[in-house]
Amino acid sequence: MHSPIADYLQEVLDTVRDDTGGEVAGYIPELAAADPDVLGMAVCTVDGRVYTAGDADIEFSIQSISKPFAYAAALTDRGFATVRAAVGVEPSGEAFNELSLEAESRRPKNPMINAGAIATHQLLVGPHATVAERFERARSFFSTLADRTLELDERVCTSELATADRNLSIAHMLRNYGIIDDDPHEVVEGYTRQCSIKVTVRDLATMGAALVNGGVHPQTGAQVVTPAVARETLAVMAAAGMYDSAGEWFTRVGIPAKSGVAGGLLGALPGQCGIGVVSPRLDRHGNSVRGIKAFHRLSDDMGMHLMESEPHGSTVLRSTTVRDGETWFALQGAVQFIGAESVLAAFQDDTTATGTLVLDLSRVDRITDVGRRMVLEGLRRFVLDGREVVLVDPDGKLPNPDLGDGTFPTVRAGTARGR
Ligand code: GLN
Q: Which atom of ligand 1 is nearest to the CA of 117?
A: 4
* pLDDT of res. 417: 47
Contact 378, 316 (CB under 8 A): no
- Which residue from 30, 64, 153, 285 has its CB within 8 A of the most atoms of ligand 1, so it is best to mutate? 64
Report the predicted TM-score, pTM, of the whole model to 2 decimal places. 0.94
* pLDDT of res. 418: 45
Q: Using a 6 Å cutoff on CB, does residue 68 contact ligand 1?
A: no
Task: Give just the sign of the alpha carbon dihedral 161, 165, 167, 169.
Answer: positive
Spatial distance between the Cα atoms of 171 and 165, rounded to a whole number of angstroms: 10
Contact 191, 120 (CB under 8 A): no
Q: Which atom of ligand 1 is nearest to the CA of 27?
A: 10
Residues 6+ apart with CB under 8 A from 120: 67, 70, 71, 74, 83, 86, 87, 111
- Which residue from 242, 261, 287 has its CB within 8 A of the most atoms of ligand 1, so it is best to mutate? 261
Nearest to 391 by CA among 381, 382, 379: 379
Contact 52, 6 (CB under 8 A): yes
Q: Using a 6 Å cutoff on CB, does residue 160 contact ligand 1?
A: yes
Residues of the chain with pLDDT under 50: 417-419
CB atoms inside a 10 Å sphere around CB 314: 16
**Ramachandran assignment for 331, one of left (phi > 0), alpha (psi -120 to 50 degrees), beta (any other):** beta
Q: Which atom of ligand 1 is nearest to the CA of 196?
A: 1
Which residues are annotated as part of the binding site for substrate? Answer: 64, 114, 160, 167, 191, 243, 261
Per-residue exposure over 273-298, b if at least 16 CB sit within 10 Å of its own CB, e if not: bbbbbbbbbbeebbbbbbbbbbbebb
Residues 6+ apart with CB under 8 A from 254: 299, 304, 305, 306, 307, 308
* pLDDT of res. 419: 45
* pLDDT of res. 415: 58
The total number of residues written for the chain in this structure: 419
Q: Using a 6 Å cutoff on CB, does residue 260 contact ligand 1?
A: yes
Ligand 1 atom 6 nearest Cα: 64
* pLDDT of res. 1: 85
Task: Give just the sign of the alpha carbon dihedral 264, 269, 274, 277.
Answer: negative
Q: Using a 6 Å cutoff on CB, does residue 288 contact ligand 1?
A: no
Q: Using a 6 Å cutoff on CB, does residue 124 contact ligand 1?
A: no
Q: Using a 6 Å cutoff on CB, does residue 60 contact ligand 1?
A: no
Decide: residue 6, CB within 10 A, 0-12 exposed, 13-18 middle, 19+ buried. middle
Catalytic residues, which ones? 64, 67, 191, 243, 261
